[in-house]
Amino acid sequence: MPVDPQLRSLDIEIPTQPEVLVKLSLLMAAEDVDLQAMSALVESDMALAAAVLKAVNSSMYGLRGRVQTVHQALTYLGMREVAAITFEMGLRAAFPSAAELEQVWSRAARRGLIMGRMGQLLGVDPWAAHSAGLFEECGKAVLYRHAPAHYPSMLRAAASDSELAQLERTAFGVSHDALGAALCESWGLAPASVASVRYHVEVQATLTMPEALQRRTVSAISTVAWAMLLQPEQLEEVTQALAPQAQLDETLVLRAARRVTEQLEQAEQHGR
């Protein structure tokens, strides 16, 4: 999908989707996904395959035995989570390696996993939810690559993403949420994922979904995941505010959040 012409006029480059991820998206869109074809595709890029296996064997997934092939990873974790890890590694590779971005990528991996699993428990498209979580902060990487000399100080100065977005608009004429949505759109993510990335700063700050946000379930899960990661004491308050706006059952959302938290805690214990 084309990038917004207004963003193009700002001379901020949106990286193109790596070819392996284009092919992976096509495989994911097929009615019957060919796992052998998926593993062969990922393994065709040695650096990507190595990064995927390193992530799969991390404590976050808590597998009891060491996974040595992508096909094994698919067997243990399933198609969606391996595909998401592949997208995560491809996204990281599209940007410079920088210490300032490590926290962005670390949060992306955990948030994506939380959102995908919550989506599965709640009957919300888990791939759309997982990919929205992975890409939520990618606009920060876009701005880091655009202004590596100035953007790190902005990241350090901002106490919240709302404050950061204001600094970004003043300095660049655009904020990371809008740039992230543009990248999601150009990489062919689902409309619900694009919308979640576009509005996540506003929804997290206000706990109110704007009228323009029509696809709301992924956005609600995004804000609940944000609370789980950064404001756990506010989980119930956030769920009470957001679930009704997305026509989700508040009790089921809380139950899903707690179940996923338990899964991640158990995985980390097994992975030690």
Binned at pLDDT 50, 70 and 90, residue 230 comes out as: very high
The contacts of residue 271 (CB under 8 Å, 6+ apart) are 58, 59, 60, 61, 62, 63
Range with the lowest mean pLDDT among 20-24, 32-36, 124-128, 214-218? 32-36
The pLDDT, as a whole number, for residue 73 is 87
List the Cα angle 4/147/193 in 5-degree steps: 40
Average pLDDT rounded to a whole number, residues 91-116: 93
The contacts of residue 122 (CB under 8 Å, 6+ apart) are 217, 221, 248, 252, 253, 256
Domain 98-271 in this protein, CATH class: mainly alpha
Domain ranges of the chain: 19-93, 98-271
Residue keyed to tokens 């214990």? 269
The pLDDT, as a whole number, for residue 272 is 53
Range with the lowest mean pLDDT among 4-13, 109-118, 138-147, 171-180? 4-13
Q: What is the pLDDT of residues 121-175, one digit of tens each?
A: 999 999 999 999 999 999 999 999 999 999 999 999 999 999 999 999 999 999 9
The pLDDT, as a whole number, for residue 77 is 82
List the Cα angle 96/102/108 in 5-degree steps: 105
Binned at pLDDT 50, 70 and 90, residue 7 comes out as: very low
The pLDDT, as a whole number, for residue 10 is 61
Q: What is the pTM of this model?
A: 0.89
The pLDDT, as a whole number, for residue 28 is 83
Binned at pLDDT 50, 70 and 90, residue 1 comes out as: very low
Average pLDDT rounded to a whole number, residues 219-247: 97
- Of 205 and 76, the one with more pLDDT: 205
- In this prediction, what percent of the chain has a pLDDT beyond 70? 95
Q: Which of 12, 21, 3 is nearest to 171 (CA)?
A: 12
* Helices vs strands, H then E, count in the chain: 16, 0
What separation in angstroms does the CA of 38 have from each of 14, 41, 42, 52, 252? 26, 5, 6, 13, 33
The pLDDT, as a whole number, for residue 95 is 93
pLDDT at 3 exceeding the cut of 60: no
